[in-house]
Amino acid sequence: MLRHHLRRAFGLQKSRCAHLSTSVSPKEYDLIVIGSGPSGLQCALESAKMGKSVAIIDKSEEIGGVCVHTGTIPSKTFREASYSRERITLSDILHRVNVVVSSEMDVIRAQLKAAHVQIIPGKARFENANEVSVENGTVHREAMIYRGKKFLIACGTYPAHSPVVPVDGEVILDSDGILDASKGELPKSWIVVGAGVIGTSSQ
């Protein structure tokens, strides 16, 4: 289904999908994807398979999006690590989470490299309908301009906070905050608010 929609977006016929584009300069791409989570990653890889020149922009050099860093993979690793010992500290669990996340990032980078997808770290901002500027102080002092024929915005999500129930990082934490903790024992009991994939994996 994704490949079908991409063919329509690029105006391709099935028989033409194997031909590489040769008229694109180093800073111009057939597709620019903003966000390296599951949606952005899959679209970038499928488009590259169809012979398109593709770049993927993410504000963090730690690519993978919420799924890899604060969502599905950390929450499931969190749960499995807690079963491995009778007594375990939060530091032990977070160490295991970091190992798994690092391994997953290596896999993603290898996939993108094999597909010849350019990874561009930095914050993207649209300058017009066909150009984005990317700011990355660690690489370039000035914003770099990239031109794209098509764009996919896949910026991801973050935990919703309520002003009525402030997240203090001690008694009340969100799914991002608990992964930032560096010491302490796991609580003997806790209440998980929300029964989505992250909430159910954390129980």
pLDDT (tens digit, 9 = 90+) per residue, 101-144?
A: 999 999 999 999 999 999 999 999 999 999 999 987 665 567 88
Q: What residue type is 55 in one-letter code?
A: A
Provide the CATH topology of domain 2-14+23-156+164-201: FAD/NAD(P)-binding domain (3.50.50)
157-195: per-residue pLDDT in tens?
Answer: 778 888 898 888 788 888 777 766 555 566 778 888 888
- Distance of alpha carbon 176 from the chain centroid: 14
Q: Looking at residue 2, what is its pLDDT?
A: 64
- Give the Cα separation of 10 and 19 in Å (integer): 13
Q: Looking at residue 194, what is its pLDDT?
A: 81
Confidence of residue 20 (pLDDT cuts 50, 70, 90): very low
CB atoms within 10 A of CB 127: 13
CB atoms within 10 A of CB 166: 10
Residue predicted with more confidence, 17 or 45: 45
Instruction: Report the C-alpha dihedral over residues 196, 201, 202, 203, rounded to 10 degrees.
Output: 90
Q: pTM of the entire structure?
A: 0.69
- Give the Cα separation of 32 and 43 in Å (integer): 10
Q: Which of 12-16, 95-99, 134-138, 177-181 has the lowest mean pLDDT?
A: 12-16
What are the domain boundaries of the chain?
Answer: 2-14+23-156+164-201
Q: Looking at residue 89, what is its pLDDT?
A: 78
